[in-house]
Structure 1
């Protein structure tokens, strides 16, 4: 069965989006892009802009499932809080469109895609491109989103194999 999976690397200025088609054990890249919000806009206006752009992509690709990266809390709690708000926008859109949403920790995505949970973004970009059969010549937000979609495809395949 073919399945369209949309991966999201959340952010309040840039939101990475990767769309793949999963067919059996293979995955193919459909689209990878970074949605950019206006730099000088308020948080509300940036989120509103990203909401509208992502809403259009959900209408365009009609994904069966959405995968999003879980929050990584670093030295800046304010940044983590704002990313949490951006994730809320994605959750709301998935509810609106009736699409099931799955969450993955950054280390799980890296482990699944590269075999190492502490891989850097360039390693993730390179391996995600290999796995989808197309070099990713996109920004790091978009390549991370593709990696998140690939991680979800891999995890759902593993779960289906284990349930037999």
Structure 2
């Protein structure tokens, strides 16, 4: 398996967390993390442009091969869900425009891949991210969630590659 650079993204209009890792099979290496924040007082179109520009810079500077994005959780407040949907749309567009392969994962799948249970709490996810990527430092919040998305994709990718290799080696029935 060849190493691949993954960029995990935790969508938000106020703050979008991002985390970059390199995955080589089951080996993970931390590269970078951060948050793209937008001005909460600016008009929606300006905030979406600010998010797009921030992501474009991250994608350019970190040269990711794959973007992994957390799927939207529908909130009780329809306005919040709509704003989050706008942010996710910009994230998906920016990643596709950068030429990256894009994968999306439900929050429960991310928690299950990183912690072992889909019902994990945020602090448990952050603790496991620090355990799996010790050089990431005291990562919390949106950046921890973004790194968890990248780790989730790395695990799914490694499993898919192993399964594909096993299937290629299996005898063909006559």
Question: TM-score of the superposition, structure 1-length normalised?
Answer: 0.95
SS in 2 for 1:134: helix
Contact 2:14 2:38 in 1 (8 A): yes
Shift of the alpha carbon at 1:74? 2.4
SS in 1 for 2:5: strand
Partner of 1:133: 134
Shift of the alpha carbon at 1:50? 1.1
2:61 paired with 1:60: yes
Gaps of 5+ in 2: 166-174
2:153 paired with 1:152: yes
Structure with bigger gyration radius: 2
Partner of 1:20: 21
Gaps of 5+ in 1: none
Aligned pairs, how many?
164
Shift of the alpha carbon at 1:95? 2.1
Partner of 1:2: 3
Could you tell me how far apart the structure 1 residues matched to 2:3 and 2:13 are?
31
Shift of the alpha carbon at 1:36? 1.0
Contact 2:35 2:142 in 1 (8 A): yes
Instruction: Describe the shift of the 1:71–1:29 C-alpha distance in structure 2 as closer, same or farther (beyond 3 A).
Output: same
Q: Please, what is the CA RMSD of the aligned residues?
A: 1.2
Partner of 1:163: 164
Measured against aligned partners, the alpha-carbon deviations of 1:113-151 in whole angstroms (never above 9, x if no partner) come to 001101111110010111123354234001000000000
Question: Following superposition of structure 1 onto structure 2, how do residues 34-53 of structure 1 map, counting pairs within 5 Å?
Answer: 34-53=35-54
